[in-house]
Structure 1
Amino acid sequence: MKLDLSGRTALVGGATSGIGWAIAKTFAQAGARVVMVARTEERLRVRLEELTNGTAHEHDAIVANYDDPDSVLTLIEKLREEAIVPDIIINNAGGPPPGSLTEAERDEFHCALDRLIVASHQIVQYALPRMRATRWGRILNVISTSVRQPIEGLGVSNTIRAATAAWAKTLSMELAPYGITVNSILPGATRTERLEQIIAARAAARGIEKRAVEEEMLREIPLQRFAEPVEIAALALFLCSDMAGYITGECIRVDGGRTRCL
């Protein structure tokens, strides 16, 4: 079975590293035109060159900071100026810094809400007229297994990630009549910069080696390893293909069996 995205335009957030970069590469290899979005211009330039050299398609890169609603509006204006309207939207952004919920400041919630929900909402609103007109669209959120089982030490992230899942579920019900699917991937511990930050924070808080934290985490995962970003990208490719047209409103875990609930 070949999953083909030829003729589709995919906007990928957080596209210069980790899961976002893996999705950008996977979608480009499947024939999509990829619009990479990230905060750092230099990293975007390097990644765009890699993507363009690796495929025979035209791709784009736009700098935007999802923490800042005005920056997202500028992103949308650039898309409009260049007549780029995505068929596929990958809502992917780094989580809030680790920390307990009781110690969290008000601004941390505001920042996380802008980054993980408001930015996604603005981009979706821009793309919806065309998606509705063509009766085809894919909106995919990369969230976290904390939606199902809160993760210790990620107080703000647990809270806002769950809100993101609720936003996506509501959106899926509103858009289903137009043939637009909305789903969420819930990655478990995945080999990314974010995972390294979490491990380092836990080790520092307890005064132990990072390796000891890693071993503790691995003991909680039945498959006894961390995921690779490309494994998350593989599911993203399927969910954004024509083959997954009857799947919507779902939160799908990719966590090596770690989450204990059904």
Structure 2
Amino acid sequence: MSSDLPVAVLTGGSGGLVPGIAEELAKAGFAIVLTARNEDGLEAAATILRLLVEAPVVTLPSDARNALSVSSLVGQVIDQFGRIDVLVNAAASSTPIGGAIEEVDVDALIADVDVKVGGYLRYAQAVVPAMKRQGGGHIINIGGLTGRSSDTLSGLRNAAVSHLTKVLSDQLGAFQIAVNAVHPGIVRTPHLDELCAELAENRGVDVATIEAEFLAEIPSGKMLSTGQVGRMIAYLAESEDVAITGQSLTIDGGYSRGVFL
């Protein structure tokens, strides 16, 4: 398959935020490559996406933990499309790691960081040569607001994503490759629905009560949609220069209260 369209590769493509991001990128004129370990989940996400957009949507499995798998994916994309214009790094475990420090499973924490931070770096390493040859590109790393609080120990991975983003932007700016991190707030996803249901059951209340508590913490009074996050990603991806690079950008309806200069 070849296409005259710019090409966006999205990791973690079988669920979470990624289908909504992919839809907005497709509407903005990008051919879409979804990748993740779960081939069945990938194809299910792609099947729905193909009903919504006209742009090409391709699925190619890869493992963020394995450099050879990541390199193979990028080679397949180049073979099919001849280019990679945008990398959206979103592969991650959805299970938070926290609790009493004496009981933390350190190996699980390191494995979690290996998927998200190590994986982001592996995909970046793999796409950068192609982007350099093309004369530019965009790498957009999806983080999370747990990196700005001490609520959950595994939030350290999102702080590391911001650091990695800055280092990459320093090294790649001269090649017209912009690198930014996007930290979404509370986004309506199947995972959030499951979390609300679990919290409601544990507390003996209905789901609406849990959701109302979340909403009370958001100045806009609304949870985000994956499409809203996707439109922010598309805005960054469509930029023709590196005026915005090395930044940790938040989309959260005002949920985070810190002042970050």
Q: TM-score range, shorter-chain basis? A: 0.7 to 0.9
Aligned to 2:158: 161
Report the secondary structure of 2:17's partner residue: helix
- Is the contact between residue 11 and residue 86 of structure 1 (CA under 8 Å) also seen in structure 2? yes
Is it true that 1:219 corresponds to 2:216 in the alignment?
Answer: yes
Distance 2:78 2:246 in 1: 28
**Distance in 2 (alpha carbons) for counterparts of 1:19 and 1:79:** 22
User: Which runs of no fewer than 5 residues in structure 2 stay unpaired?
Assistant: none
Identity value in percent: 25
Deviation at 1:165?
1.1
Q: Which amino acid aligns with 2:167?
A: T
- CA shift for structure 1 position 204: 5.6
Structure 1 residues 100-127: Cα deviation after superposition (integer angstroms, max 9, x where no partner)? 2523212212221221111221111111
SS at match of 1:139: strand
* 1:160-209 C-alpha deviation (Å, 9 max, x unpaired): 11111111111111111111111111100100123234434544665654
Structure 2 match to 1:3:
none
What is the letter of the counterpart of residue 237 of structure 2? C
One-letter amino acid of the structure 1 residue matched with residue 258 of structure 2: C
Q: SS of the counterpart of 1:170? A: helix
Change (3 A) 1:227 1:235: same
1:41, CA displacement in angstroms?
Answer: 1.8
Partner SS for 1:240: helix
Q: List aligned pairs for 1:75-154, cutoff 5 A.
A: 75-76=73-74, 78-79=76-77, 82=80, 85-101=83-99, 102=101, 103-150=103-150, 152=151, 154=152
Asked if the contact 1:192/1:229 (under 8 Å) is kept, the reply is yes
The SS at the match of 2:96 is coil
Q: Flag structure 1 segments of 5+ consecutive residues without an equivalent.
A: 1-5
TM alignment of 1:1-262, pairs within 5 A: 7-67=5-65, 71-76=69-74, 78-79=76-77, 82=80, 85-101=83-99, 102=101, 103-150=103-150, 152=151, 154-156=152-154, 158-203=155-200, 208-242=205-239, 245-262=242-259
Query: How far has the Cα of 1:67 moved from its partner?
Result: 4.6
User: Pairwise CA RMSD of aligned residues?
Assistant: 2.5
Contact 1:140 1:182 in 2 (8 A): yes
Is the contact between residue 69 and residue 118 of structure 1 (CA under 8 Å) also seen in structure 2? no
Q: CA distance change for structure 1 residues 32 and 110 in 2, over 3 Å: closer, same or farther?
A: same
Task: Give the match's secondary structure for 1:121.
Answer: helix
Give the residue type in structure 1 aligned to 2:137.
G
Letter in 1 for 2:89: N
Q: 1:134 to 1:108 in 2, by over 3 A?
A: same
8 Å Cα contact 1:9-1:85 kept in structure 2: yes
* 1:69 to 1:132, Cα distance in 2 relative to 1, 3 A: closer
Count of residues paired in the alignment:
254
Q: What SS class does the counterpart of residue 18 from structure 1 fall into?
A: coil
Q: Deviations over 1:48-92 (max 9, x none)?
A: 334345444333101233355564355345446646542100001
